[in-house]
Amino acid sequence: MRGAARLSAYCAFVSIGCGAIGLHSAKAEAGEQLQAFGREMDRISDIFGENTHMRINGQDLYLANGSSRESMDATLDRFEKYCKASESVFKNLPKQLNVAEDAKEERARFADIDLSTHRKVDGDLGSVMCIVRGTNTGNGLLDSLKKFGTTQDLGALGKMRYAQARKQPDGSLHVMMLWTEDSLKLSELMPPDGVEGKGHDGSLAPRPPASRRIMSVDLVDSSHAAYVYESTNSPNDTIRFYDERMAAEHYNVVDDPSAASRPKTELTGEYRMYERDGITVFVVAQTNDNHKTSVGLVESGISESFAANTRMNRSK
């Protein structure tokens, strides 16, 4: 009975990850996707400051920026050492799968597999990602996977730790870290196509016409917030809508001071910057892969209490 139960557990484990090779591939793919996300965050991380608490669709993530004069390898080694020293349900698989001490072949099959940490270096960009045990993590790998399948909460698997280092022209490294704590509901962080994302609309600019909200991003304890929508209106019609609405609210259209320094490939679509009494609203609208219009709004210079009161008044 015990052997049958263990075999059943192994089958479940293999079916989830398609065996050791598939699990390694899945880990590598996840690491590459996270590094791609890290690249996007790196492009705008300078606006966040040294430490930032982000709330995306109501889910909490944390970001920190820093610099290092160490080499790429030495910097990544420090993060990887932390990952390797931390407990995780994705390492020591014989223990996680309750493989008997006398089942030497079975133990050997999984002994060298460490799915907890992924490291990648691509030219001037390097990263380390790992999942470490949290308070909501299951009793073992299979229990954690079962909990994750039910809740879609990353906390069931552990706490994500991600570090990215990019070489700068002066030889130093810009180091960016992203991490989660005990809960991150992926189903709310990334809503399915056609589903309105959780969170809220902005407090200064209205949502675009004929749209669904994909993401709201609050920088906790700061005056910045951002929102992403998908609209069936064209980029030109979207910007025309904001020109009219923001003018009615006595905002002035101003030149984007950073536009001249951006690569031309980043200046696709239509964009505007509006300003009034030290408050700024930036709008960008561009056609996406779904042949719809992705609309991004960034509001800056408002207090959290003002934003909350404005949203409350709009909802009445």
For residue 97, what pLDDT is reported?
Answer: 65
Q: What is the tally of structural domains in the chain?
A: 2
Residues 21 and 136 in one domain: yes
Domain that holds residue 100: 2-184
Quote the pLDDT of residue 67: 85
Comparing 156 with 42, which gets the higher pLDDT?
156
Do both 219 and 77 map to the same domain?
no
Q: Is 249 found in the same domain as 128?
A: no
Which residues, in sequence order, are CB contacts of 63 under 8 Å at separation 6+? 41, 45, 48, 51, 52, 54, 176, 177, 178
Q: In terms of domains, do 116 and 12 share one? A: yes
Residue 231 near residue 211 (C-beta atoms within 8 A): yes
C-alpha dist (Å) from residue 127 to 29, 34, 46, 53, 109: 13, 9, 18, 21, 28
Q: How far is CA 285 from CA 45, 83, 282, 288, in A?
A: 21, 40, 10, 9
pLDDT tens-digit series, residues 207-263: 999 999 988 888 888 788 889 899 999 999 999 999 999 999 999 998 655 544 444
Average pLDDT over residues 47-58: 74
The CATH number of the domain holding residue 68 is 3.30.530
Question: Do 33 and 129 share a structural domain?
Answer: yes
In a domain, residue 61? The reply is yes
Residue 82 lies in a domain: yes
Same domain, yes or no: 284 and 178: no
Q: Is residue 194 part of a domain?
A: no
Answer yes or no: do 240 and 148 share one domain.
no
Instruction: Kindly state whether residues 50 and 103 are assigned to the same domain.
Output: yes
Judgement on whether residues 243 and 128 belong to the same structural domain of the protein? no
* 195 falls within a domain: no
What digits encode the pLDDT tens for the residues 91-126? 877 666 666 666 666 666 666 667 788 899 999 999
Q: Is 230 found in the same domain as 124?
A: no
Segment 185-206, tens digit of pLDDT: 888 887 777 788 888 999 899 9
Q: Are 20 and 168 in the same domain? A: yes
Judgement on whether residues 24 and 104 belong to the same structural domain of the protein: yes
Edge-to-edge strand ranges of the sheet holding 293-300 = 117-122, 125-132, 159-167, 173-179, 59-68, 51-56, 211-219, 224-231, 293-300, 279-287, 270-276, 252-254
Query: Higher-confidence residue: 276 or 224?
Result: 276
